[in-house]
Amino acid sequence: MKKTQSNNPLHGKTLEHILTYLVAAYGWEGLYERIKINCFNSNPSIKSSLKFLRKTPWARTKVENLYLDLID
């Protein structure tokens, strides 16, 4: 039996969707001001940021938490 994810606001949201949403809301500069990650500051792109975030759990958690704060 599978657990339902109805209470999880991240369910069904890809990391790419979350990052694109945050960049649209804050821009790269604003995102870097909120989360001091070099991939948001030095020649930022969705592709390079996704690569870093997928390999770095603590950074991904910060991005997901910022997204949750924004959609609340």
Domain region containing 23: 15-71
CATH of the domain at 30: 1.10.720.30
0.85 exceeded by the pTM? yes
pLDDT at res. 53: 97
DSSP 33-60: HHS--GGGTSS--HHHHHHHHHH-HHHH
Q: CA 65, CA 24: separation in Å to the nearest integer?
A: 16
Instruction: Please write the tens of the pLDDT for every residue from 1-55.
Output: 455 566 888 888 999 999 999 999 999 999 999 999 999 999 999 999 999 999 9
Look at residues 12, 9, 15, 10 and name the one whose alpha carbon lies nearest to residue 59: 15
Instruction: Please give the tally of structural domains in the chain.
Output: 1
pLDDT at res. 40: 96
Residue 37 domain-assigned?
yes
Residue 40 domain-assigned?
yes
Q: CA 57, CA 16: separation in Å to the nearest integer?
A: 15
Cβ atoms of 19 and 46 closer than 8 Å? yes
pLDDT at res. 55: 97
